[in-house]
């Protein structure tokens, strides 16, 4: 008996443009997984590469040298990109609520939003 081995579609949604998600996008671009629809939701179209930020502050690197271009990376991975902020998570219905866009359905969700430093305690930090 011959079986139909077509892949089952899955909506993989990545919240945040952190390092792990940048790697996922790069890997998808190099070797897409059949049936997987990839979506990235990030607050900005670029994300800093934290290892290079001290050099950027010191003037050794330009902005474009130490930031990852999420638009270009999402395009390479053939992923949908929403520049938006997730404001709600409905686990029962497998949907995300965004501040400015439509609700987004997901089968698998990954969150990599990084950290937010407590700049209020650092003199001169903005």
Kindly report, residue by residue over 69-78, the tens digit of the pLDDT: 999 999 999 9
pLDDT of residue 41: 97
Which domains occur in the chain, in start order?
Answer: 15-121 (3.50.50.60)
Contact (CB, 8 A) for 14 and 40: yes
3-state secondary structure of 47: strand
What mean pLDDT, rounded, does the chain reach? 87
- Alpha carbon of 123 to those of 54, 59, 95: distances in Å? 17, 20, 40
pLDDT of residue 56: 84
pLDDT tens, residue by residue, 7-52: 666 999 999 998 899 999 999 999 999 889 999 999 999 988 878 8
């Amino acid at each position: 008996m011959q079986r139909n081995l077509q892949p089952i579609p899955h909506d993989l949604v990545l919240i945040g443009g952190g390092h792990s998600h940048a790697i996922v996008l790069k890997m998808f671009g190099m070797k897409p997984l059949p049936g997987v629809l990839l979506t990235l939701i990030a607050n900005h179209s670029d994300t800093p590469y934290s290892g290079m930020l001290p050099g950027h502050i010191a003037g050794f690197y330009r902005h474009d040298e130490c930031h990852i271009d999420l638009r270009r990376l999402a395009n390479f991975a053939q992923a949908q990109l929403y520049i938006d902020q997730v404001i709600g998570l409905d686990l029962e219905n497998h949907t995300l609520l965004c501040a400015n866009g439509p609700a987004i359905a997901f089968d698998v969700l990954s969150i990599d939003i990084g950290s937010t430093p407590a700049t209020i305690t650092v003199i001169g930090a903005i």
